[in-house]
Structure 1
Amino acid sequence: MKFSENWLRSHVPTNATRDELAATLTAIGLEVEGVEALGESLAGVVVARIVECAKHPEADKLQVCQVDAGNGTMLQIVCGAPNARPGLVAPLATIGTKIGDITIKAAKLRGVESNGMLCSAKELGLDADASGLLELPSDAPVGTPLADYLGLPDASFELKLTPNRADCFSVRGIAFDVAAACASHVTAFDAAPMPALNDATLPIELHAGADAPRFVGRVIEGVDAKVTTPVWMAERLRRSGVRPVSFLVDVTQYVMLELGQPMHAYDRDLLKGPVSVRVARAGETLKLLNGDTVELDPQFLVIADAGRAVGLAGIMGGEDTKVGAGTRNVFLEAAHFAPSAIIGRGRRFGLHTDAAHRFERGVDPELPRIAVEHATRLIVEIAGGAPGPVVEAVLPEHLPKPQSILLRRARLARVLGVRVDDAEVVRILTALGLSVEANGEGWNVAAPARRFDLAIEEDLVEEVARIHGYDAIPATLPGSGARLQAPSEERVGDGDARRQLVARDYLEAVNFAFVDAESLAQWQAGGGVPLANPLSADLGVMRSSLLPGLVAALARNAARQQPRVRLFELGKVFAMNASEAPIETSRIAAVACGSARGEQWGEKSRVVDFHDLKGDLDSLAALSNATLEYRQAAPSWGHPGRSAEVLRDGRSLGWIGQLHPRLQQTLGLDMEVVAFELDLESLLVRSIPVAIALSRFPSVRRDLAFVVADDVPWAAMEATVRRAAGAVLRQLRLFDRYAGRGVEPGFKSLAMGLILQEDSRTLTDREVEAVVAEVVAALQREHGAVIRG
């Protein structure tokens, strides 16, 4: 929210300096992001009129101007501004005036005398526009100090408001907080009804129920739309970050900034039949004021006349009924829309308007009539015209009802840790515009309709605390002792998992939990959970997988000349639940591309592959003493021959493998990418460690080499060996894989080491041979494996 300091002071008189005012606003929760001083050094700058212009004899881009500065004599000024012309009224810095670091002196420019300087807005520090002289209205009084004419000095304040303080999106809303904090009062506001001078009306109809429970309109006939916006209004708009457009448009902007009620002005002669608020029809189109034509659906509310939509309710008006220079009859509109009917709608079309920003957070439902009356008064006073009667349509049952909140004296003292005088509590709440009635326990407080954020007793405690001053509340440590909870040994900590992957040369990434629905569609990873109010159109659903965001981060790094990228992420994924809230699941994922190891001289470089990633995953599983099984399987995004389902104790944890070449091409990746994604809780759960004695008896190792069909996975053979060998098998190591000369095509040779041991005795050769024979027989029976000769 941006506003003029002088404008604010016109609503709340205070002796606080500018710096004190900025500090006070921040202290009460209205954070001041910036203060821009305006017109601090304009002594000697006056309003002047150019009477004559002649070409400079020695310079094509300069003009010699005769300027009337109101002192009875003409001043000769050499000027290079492209808009300098006879009759133009502009600021003139007279001799001796200091503009920035320059002091204006009489000088000769290319041989021609110049006795002052005609100024642009940028040179005066009033605006960023340096394209030409600052053009003032033609009726500006010549000779008047510019500061007096423009209401300077002034300052432009910019606040960073939290979403719950929608009432402060107006100068008058901020004034209540300043009045409370500075022990002042808010000046009375003239909202007296403007009398109707004719019978001109437009019928109003409400067809949107609770989404639009109030609509106020008024016809004003005979308006001069070509009238220039008054300087005082235009300057207040500029200092609030709004560039003046035309008077009728500027009036609605001015009222919105002053009161907080968005408004719209229609050309009455372009409206046909009754005006209504209704739900948009599927496929209905509307051309907006910005020139875009949008296709609507029933999620939108529209302002409509007899046969068409003429405005996107609460967001932007329509092009076909806008006011212009030829407008004579105006229809003013101010309505109340429920926040739920406006939230997120504009972002679907890439729109972020001041009106939507306010309606999304909540606007005082009592403001529409006041705003229409105020705008009517301004229009009639400045542009003339005859107003008709105010027409109001209202659905009382859907309007917010004021609720009384009990603020207990004892509760206030207990929460704040300090007792605030009753008189101070009453003063604070009353200055904020709340109705206060004392009772035995404390006070019954009724909040005005503009304060949507006040609903429970704690809200009132906060109001007292922030206005009384947080620095006035003593800082004391909590009296109760804190109990430290030891981490459970039945689960590996997330920090341990992170450190393990970092030790394996991965970097942690943190991605948005919101993704683009199109991205999930590319991965065929499920639809995700749609958001009712997304941050933007490309962050519209909650992710159903970590991999799309993680691979996108990998792609961005690879595109920036990073040949070797290894990333991991711990985070939540989300799935729809038909009957309850969406289901959240913790996952861990990693992605890698480029060389298996960093560049070095010790070994030949090779590309990272499935087995490198499998080794990293096995090291992670070792933290929880988990034995993982890998079963060939490929989801839609996985390479058909280089993917596996990961299991623990027969339960599926997730997937590991290489991305499908088609997906890599779609994502613009020109390198192979390997990845895994697993259920975090199932991976990190572990049994409580139990100490056991080491066997005092020697182990026996037997090495065996088998020839087996190439399509038989090692995981299946490993399971067979462990089952056949039984409890005496302590370790099983695969130490060689060979295919080529001496091995029949379509087959491979796998060499494994069996380490056997008993706890109570030394194994005999006969027992060892019996185990080996059982293993050989089981592998031949189940997989067709034969001992390699």
Structure 2
Amino acid sequence: MKFSENWLRELVEIQADRAQLAHALTMAGLEVEELTALGEGLDGVVVAEIVAAEKHPEADRLQVCRVNAGQGELLQIVCGAPNARVGIKVPLATVGASLPGGVAIKAAKLRGVESFGMLCSAKELGVDADASGLLELPLDAPVGQPLATYLGLPDASFELKLTPNRPDCLGLVGLAHDVAALFGSHVKVPAQGAAPVSGAARRGIRLEAGKDAPRYLGRVIEGIDASARTPLWMAERLRRAGLRPISAVVDVTNYVMLELGQPMHAFDNDALDGDIVVRHAAAGETLKLLDGSEATLDGGFVVIADERKGLAVAGVMGGYDSRVTDATANVFLESAHFAPAAIMGKARKLGLHTDASHRFERGVDPALPQRALERATELLLAIVGGQAGPVLVAERPEDLPQPVPVALRRERLRRVLGVTVDDAEVARIFTALGMQVAPTADGWTVTAPSSRFDIEREEDLIEEVARIFGYDNIPTHTPAGALTLAAEPEARIGDLALREQLAARGHHEAVNLSFVSAELLARWGFADALVPLANPLSADLAVMRPSLLPGLVESLRHNRARQQERVRLFEVARVFAAGDPPVETPSLAIAACGSARAEQWGESARALDFFDLKGDLDAIIAWGGEPQRWSVHADQLPAWLHPGRGARVARDGATVGYLGALHPQLAKALDLGPDVHVLEVALEPLLDRRLPRARSVPRFPSVRRDLALDLPEAVRWSQIEQVVRDTLGGVLSQLKLFDRYSGKGVEAGRKSLAMGLILQDASRTLTDDDADRCVREAVTALEKACKARLRG
């Protein structure tokens, strides 16, 4: 927000100098980002008129001008500005003047011709950045008058860095309320009366965008003089606020936006056909905008249209074909309220950022459109003339935001601020900010004006008191209190320890954004239960990640493209699934490629495979002390896993993750090799740990029996292990698989597994008969459950 200091001082009495004002604004949360002094040190600079101009005899780009400076006789000035010509009025720095920047004006000879002064550009005077030519003044500027007096200088341009919750300060009247509260003064803005209605022109208005556009006002003004010049005072205020004057009609709408904070737009009424229709855009609808660009819209945009065509993108920018030109005789003024959610992100989606969208997406006072329309009409009638028709109103009152009273407790205010603020001062602060205050037994009930979207709860009111009362007036106390150390639960592994374990195994931690591209997720096959962002930073970051792997594999691909052949990455973070509210699940993911071991001489190089990553998982599972609760299965794999080199990870029979090589088609689509292996598993099951329990060393020896079984190829080891443990119970101390064979001597489609049964009883020594009985029971159970055959 940029504005003229002199303009602000007209709206509110400020008993402070410029530096004090800047400090007060910053300390109240309205940070002064830049402060530029304008027009200081212009003594000796006057309004002058060029009455004659001839080519310099010795220089092609110079002219010898005769200038009337109101001193009785004409002055001779040598000038090189391209726009120097007879009849214009420009600033003249007379001999003896000193311009901003330390330039002293003296009589001089330029290429043999005497010059008694200097005709100036806006940049040379320090009032603007334009250095393309002389600063041209209106033709009615009084010759000989000091330029500072004529332009209302000196002045200063303030630029505020406003937080998104203070859209009310994007207009000078709203800002004036804060300044009045800070300095204990009053806003000097008169009530806005209704402009005289002398015309009868009307146009129907239909609201078809629902709650996105609940209020729309318009007015036809006929018979204007579109070529009328913007008054100097208005043009200067616009220029000092960072806006270039364009035309009287456009300048008035911009001026009202700066003054009140309400964006407005003017259409050429003769270019409109039938009623004004406020509706949602059709998918693929196009509209040529004021800047000449072609906007392609979708159903999320609100469009101002007539019966045949779109006229403007609501809250963003007007259309090119209905713009006001020098030939415009009749205008249709619009002043509307749009829901912030309907405008948020729309300008950015079109590659734009406009003053209107900047205000509407933060929230504009829904009560402002009527006041702004009357103010703009008043200014237009005074500048361009014409006859104003009646105000045309269409609104949906049920969709307009309504101020809600908020309670503030006196004791709560004291506790949060650490200081007691007098009741009278609290009431004064809220009243000066335009709020309605009603005392209660334990504090106040405060109703914020409709312009204050940020006042929703008690803490918001406490913040208002603190910033106006002054943070400097709130004492600083060192917080007191005893800190207690939380004991780490033994039944849980810390995620930091998990990270350290993975780092010790050669993996590097990655931190990726929580949002990803919908296109990337489509490649992976993630289409269900996605959480889209309402206001994404860009199209590539439009969806909350349902898995850590797409982002992690992109990081792997990025490293691999930079000559890193052996990559080991892991990430511990949350994934998101659709719900009300969306479901967040902590997860662990690993992505790895390249050789299994770093380059060395101790062993031969080999490529990373499924079992390397499974070894990492087993090492983490072993930490929990209950590996028997975990299993891997080769069924029900997601589409992004290799069907023959992937596995489903389960805990207590419930699926908690997946492990394996990427599907070849996905690896090809991502421009990756076939050696990329990934793992993703829910984090919480990994962090559970069995509490350690002390027990005595077994007094009785163990017995080992080895078995060789012939089984179908499809039978998994986890299934065999479960059957044996269920059959033998506590007698089975360990079960070890030590050999696997298929080939000669074994039927096709079957395999031979050799395993060792470690048997032990805590109460006695097992006999050979006991061991043989256990072997018979295990073999019988495996024959029934797994179609096993004992090999001889």
Q: Quickly name the TM-score band, shorter chain normalised.
A: 0.7 to 0.9
Structure 1 CA distance for aligned equivalents of residues 432 and 473 of structure 2: 19
Moved more, 676-685 or 590-599: 590-599
Matching of residue 649 in structure 1 with residue 648 in structure 2? no
- One-letter amino acid of the structure 2 residue matched with residue 531 of structure 1: L
CA shift in 2, pair 1:40/1:729, >3 Å: farther
How far residue 655 of structure 1 moved from its aligned partner, in angstroms, is 0.9
- Alignment-derived partner of residue 27 in structure 2: 27
Structure 2 CA distance for aligned equivalents of residues 508 and 453 of structure 1: 39
Moved more, 106-115 or 658-667: 106-115
- One-letter amino acid of the structure 2 residue matched with residue 14 of structure 1: I
Determine which of 669, 688, 696 is the counterpart of 1:685.
688
Contact 1:653 1:683 in 2 (8 A): no
Matching of residue 673 in structure 1 with residue 701 in structure 2? no
How far residue 665 of structure 1 moved from its aligned partner, in angstroms, is 2.8
Structure 1 CA distance for aligned equivalents of residues 589 and 181 of structure 2: 53
- SS for the counterpart of 1:19 is helix
Between the two proteins, the alignment pairs up a number of residues equal to 782
Structure 2 CA distance for aligned equivalents of residues 315 and 663 of structure 1: 41
Matching of residue 133 in structure 1 with residue 126 in structure 2? no
Paired residues for 1:521-540 under 5 Å: 521-527=522-528, 528-540=530-542
Matching of residue 63 in structure 1 with residue 62 in structure 2? yes
- Alignment-derived partner of residue 308 in structure 1: 309
Structure 1 CA distance for aligned equivalents of residues 25 and 384 of structure 2: 36
CA shift in 2, pair 1:758/1:407, >3 Å: closer
Deviations 1:255-311 (A, max 9, x none): 112101111101111122232434445665544334445555554433333333323
CA shift in 2, pair 1:370/1:713, >3 Å: same
Moved more, 445-454 or 691-700: 691-700
Matching of residue 621 in structure 1 with residue 621 in structure 2? yes
- One-letter amino acid of the structure 1 residue matched with residue 585 of structure 2: T
Structure 2 CA distance for aligned equivalents of residues 701 and 128 of structure 1: 93
Structure 1 CA distance for aligned equivalents of residues 40 and 739 of structure 2: 83
CA shift in 2, pair 1:22/1:487, >3 Å: farther
Contact 1:717 1:783 in 2 (8 A): no
How far residue 184 of structure 1 moved from its aligned partner, in angstroms, is 1.9
Moved more, 699-708 or 338-347: 699-708
Paired residues for 1:274-313 under 5 Å: 274-280=275-281, 285-294=286-295, 299-313=300-314
Structure 1 CA distance for aligned equivalents of residues 743 and 53 of structure 2: 99
- One-letter amino acid of the structure 2 residue matched with residue 567 of structure 1: L
- Alignment-derived partner of residue 253 in structure 2: 252
RMSD of aligned alpha carbons = 4.2
CA shift in 2, pair 1:692/1:434, >3 Å: same
- One-letter amino acid of the structure 1 residue matched with residue 649 of structure 2: V
- SS for the counterpart of 1:319 is coil
Paired residues for 1:468-617 under 5 Å: 468-476=469-477, 485-527=486-528, 528-577=530-579, 580-598=580-598, 606-617=606-617
Structure 1 CA distance for aligned equivalents of residues 116 and 735 of structure 2: 99
CA shift in 2, pair 1:53/1:149, >3 Å: farther
Structure 2 CA distance for aligned equivalents of residues 88 and 706 of structure 1: 108
- One-letter amino acid of the structure 1 residue matched with residue 556 of structure 2: L
Contact 2:709 2:788 in 1 (8 A): no
- One-letter amino acid of the structure 2 residue matched with residue 27 of structure 1: M
Contact 1:658 1:673 in 2 (8 A): yes
- Alignment-derived partner of residue 338 in structure 2: 337
Structure 2 CA distance for aligned equivalents of residues 432 and 166 of structure 1: 14
- Alignment-derived partner of residue 462 in structure 1: 463
CA shift in 2, pair 1:390/1:493, >3 Å: same
Structure 2 CA distance for aligned equivalents of residues 264 and 677 of structure 1: 54
How far residue 133 of structure 1 moved from its aligned partner, in angstroms, is 2.4
Structure 1 CA distance for aligned equivalents of residues 584 and 505 of structure 2: 28
- SS for the counterpart of 1:303 is strand
Deviations 1:236-258 (A, max 9, x none): 33433433333322221221121
Moved more, 426-435 or 412-421: 412-421
Contact 2:227 2:326 in 1 (8 A): yes
Moved more, 661-670 or 245-254: 661-670
CA shift in 2, pair 1:384/1:440, >3 Å: same
CA shift in 2, pair 1:723/1:106, >3 Å: farther
Contact 1:229 1:246 in 2 (8 A): yes
Deviations 1:545-590 (A, max 9, x none): 122222223333444454444332222222234xx43322222212
Matching of residue 630 in structure 1 with residue 632 in structure 2? yes
Structure 2 CA distance for aligned equivalents of residues 631 and 397 of structure 1: 57
Structure 1 CA distance for aligned equivalents of residues 94 and 597 of structure 2: 73
- Alignment-derived partner of residue 165 in structure 2: 164
Contact 1:7 1:236 in 2 (8 A): yes
How far residue 646 of structure 1 moved from its aligned partner, in angstroms, is 1.2
Q: If the length of structure 2 is used for normalisation, what is the TM-score?
A: 0.85
Deviations 1:599-641 (A, max 9, x none): 5565555544333322222222233224242222431112222
Structure 1 CA distance for aligned equivalents of residues 604 and 84 of structure 2: 74
Moved more, 367-376 or 205-214: 205-214
- SS for the counterpart of 1:380 is helix
CA shift in 2, pair 1:370/1:502, >3 Å: same
- SS for the counterpart of 1:323 is coil
CA shift in 2, pair 1:471/1:82, >3 Å: same
Structure 1 CA distance for aligned equivalents of residues 195 and 338 of structure 2: 25
- SS for the counterpart of 1:321 is coil
Q: Sequence identity, in percent?
A: 57
How far residue 438 of structure 1 moved from its aligned partner, in angstroms, is 4.5
- One-letter amino acid of the structure 2 residue matched with residue 245 of structure 1: I
How far residue 173 of structure 1 moved from its aligned partner, in angstroms, is 0.9
Contact 1:406 1:443 in 2 (8 A): yes
Contact 1:53 1:85 in 2 (8 A): no
Matching of residue 326 in structure 1 with residue 340 in structure 2? no
Contact 1:69 1:75 in 2 (8 A): no
How far residue 432 of structure 1 moved from its aligned partner, in angstroms, is 0.8
CA shift in 2, pair 1:397/1:697, >3 Å: closer
Structure 2 CA distance for aligned equivalents of residues 682 and 703 of structure 1: 34
Structure 2 CA distance for aligned equivalents of residues 52 and 754 of structure 1: 113
Moved more, 266-275 or 534-543: 534-543
How far residue 734 of structure 1 moved from its aligned partner, in angstroms, is 6.8
- SS for the counterpart of 1:66 is strand
Determine which of 640, 645, 651 is the counterpart of 2:643.
640
Deviations 1:177-211 (A, max 9, x none): 11101222211235222212332333334445544
- SS for the counterpart of 1:10 is helix
Paired residues for 1:121-520 under 5 Å: 121=122, 126-127=127-128, 129=130, 132-133=132-133, 135-139=135-139, 140-141=141-142, 145-189=146-190, 191-208=192-209, 210-280=211-281, 285-294=286-295, 299-438=300-439, 442-476=443-477, 485-520=486-521
How far residue 333 of structure 1 moved from its aligned partner, in angstroms, is 1.1
Contact 1:195 1:389 in 2 (8 A): no
Moved more, 172-181 or 306-315: 306-315
CA shift in 2, pair 1:650/1:389, >3 Å: closer
